[in-house]
Amino acid sequence: MTAKDFLTIDDFDIEDRTILVRVDLNSPMDPEGGILDDMRIHSHIPTLRDLEDAKVVLLAHQSRPGKNDFSTMEAHSRIMSGYLGRKVTYIDDIFGTYARSSISEMKKGDVILLENVRFYSEESLKRPVDEQQRTHMVRQLSPLFDIFLNDAFAVSHRSQLSIVGFTGLLPSGAGRLMEREITALNKSLQGNECPCIFVLGGAKVDDSIKVAENVLSSGGADRVLVTGVVANVMLAASGVDIGEPNMKFIESQGYLDQIDRAKEVLEKFEGKIGLPRDAALNDNGTRIDVKIEEVASKNLPINDIGLETIVAYSSEIENAKTVVLNGPAGVAELDGFEIGTFEIIKAAANSGYSIAGGGHITAEVRNIGYEEQFSHISTGGGACIDFLAGDELPGIEALKVAAKRYQETE
């Protein structure tokens, strides 16, 4: 996907226009409704600053029905107001009379945040784009707007009405965050400087194997290094006995069938997938580093890559021109087992161009204060891994269709 496939803020005359922007403000919250991490709120500020001459209405969600943090957007509006330096007005309505009249009365420079879009049950229904465009919410809101911008990369892997419903009815483009995500992740897949290394870890084994196959098949990566549960599955696929506790864990996660899949990928890309040489075992909270060949005899869970692997991986990563991290190397929340994750993050920060691919690895990058040293930190977990795996994201595909239609009418 190239920059010509979608429109951005720069393609529209925004002066005094009424613009609907889908943002992703979904944040961890405490039991009292306070926001614990406002990273996602802050990430949209560049978009809002570039729209200061327009009338901006924000559509967002917080959590989902049944969760303890399924709440209103009031706290989000207060934090956003502080970052933006001007009032972001919270409206406790989505598309009713109060919301519509508030939008109609807006003046240039005003910013409104509508109520949690998931309070409307149809938002959570996954349907084709044309059906989403006919929903009651879209029909009620779309006549009030001149432009729709999708700035919510992290939820653009879902075909939900607030993501794809407006793109067929309004001139549509990407906000600054979405634009930055697509550009950075594309750089990791094509046109990147070599050597390019993907470091895949965490527990989403099927996703990671799919990413590995995609980037190695397309030439997007020269090497893939594996850690976490992904590495355990790959090791088992390569014929290593990883011990009963680790095989039981793989089985409990429903990933036994991925061992055969991993074997196929290892054979197809022989020499291009790096496996751990040693592992850190958890013996009642104590870290024990052993050679991979010794893991089975210890009958203990693997909770991190070993020190020898950390040194080898770090050297390879530091010398790379492009590095993409997705998933932690071990159980980073446990004392003593965060070493692999932290050292890989530090090595990636010293490479030519570094990307943290959303989810847990992004949290760990921030945890050790390396955010500013990365070239790009993705706001998407599932969306990022789907993008890297070569899957089409409905939100981005909808923007491509909208761009083509817009360009044909100009």
| Nearest partner of 391 among 221, 127, 206, judged by Cα | 206
24 carries a ligand binding annotation = yes
User: Cα–Cα distances in Å, from 172 out to 79, 87, 115, 285, 338?
Assistant: 27, 25, 22, 52, 43
59 is in an annotated binding site: no
User: For residue 171, with 0-12 CB atoms within 10 Å meaning exposed, 13-18 middle and 19 or more buried, which class applies?
Assistant: buried
* DSSP secondary structure letters along 322-388: EEEEES-SS-TTSTTS-HHHHHHHHHHHTSSEEEE-SHHHHHHHHHTT-GGGSSEE-S-SHHHHHHH
118 a known binding residue? yes
User: Who contacts 27 (Cβ-Cβ below 8 Å, separation ≥6)?
Assistant: 35, 36, 37, 38, 39, 40, 41, 62, 76
| CA 166 to centroid of chain Cα atoms | 22
127 annotated ligand-binding residue: no
Angle separating helix axes 394-409 and 176-189, nearest 10 degrees: 110
Q: Establish whether 40 is an annotated binding residue.
A: yes
76 is in an annotated binding site: no
Confirm whether residue 26 is marked as ligand binding.
yes
62 among the known binding-site residues?
A: yes
Calculate ∠ Cα 337-338-342, nearest 5°: 145
Residue 96 marked in a binding site: no
22 is in an annotated binding site: no
CA distance 327 to 335: 18
Judge whether 319 is annotated as a binding position.
no
| Residues in the annotated binding site for ATP | 333, 358-361
| Residues in the annotated binding site for substrate | 24-26, 40, 61-64, 118, 158
| Residues in the annotated binding site for (2R)-3-phosphoglycerate | 40, 118, 158
| Residues in the annotated binding site | 24-26, 40, 61-64, 118, 158, 333, 358-361
